[in-house]
Structure 1
């Protein structure tokens, strides 16, 4: 392998934006921030949590209701 062409592989802290949990891993980046981690993800916790971003669910339901009422 060529010398001095590979990035530095160091320990970094990964921070979850949702629950605030920190854990350590190795990466070429200086820090990593994730939206959701295994500590708060519904698949791993077994709890269903609806994450509604800016009313997207309501907009979908409204469009779906309009489409079904027009087709009848």
Structure 2
């Protein structure tokens, strides 16, 4: 196995801007920004829009969609007659 083709993996802090939480993990990403972690060491910082701390699937918080309005709009546009005209 050639040693020069693999990217360098290093500890990186990912900060979720929506939830305000941060995770220290290994990654090949590099950043010009840095942050001092809880252990006193400075690590590269990568800001992310969404993570498991803020994603609705993991948090259990879902967005309410106006499905009743969508159904009514569909029925106004296409009507229920299409289902009753079958023979």
Q: Which runs of 4+ in 1 moved over 6 A?
A: none
Higher helix share: 1
| Structure whose CA Rg is larger | 2
Q: How much is the aligned-residue C-alpha RMSD, in angstroms?
A: 2.9
Unaligned runs of 5+ in 2: 31-44, 80-87
Aligned length: 63
TM-score (norm 1): 0.59
Structure 1 spans left out of the alignment, 5+ residues: 52-56
Considering fraction of residues, name the structure with more strand: 2
Q: TM-score, normalised by structure 2?
A: 0.52
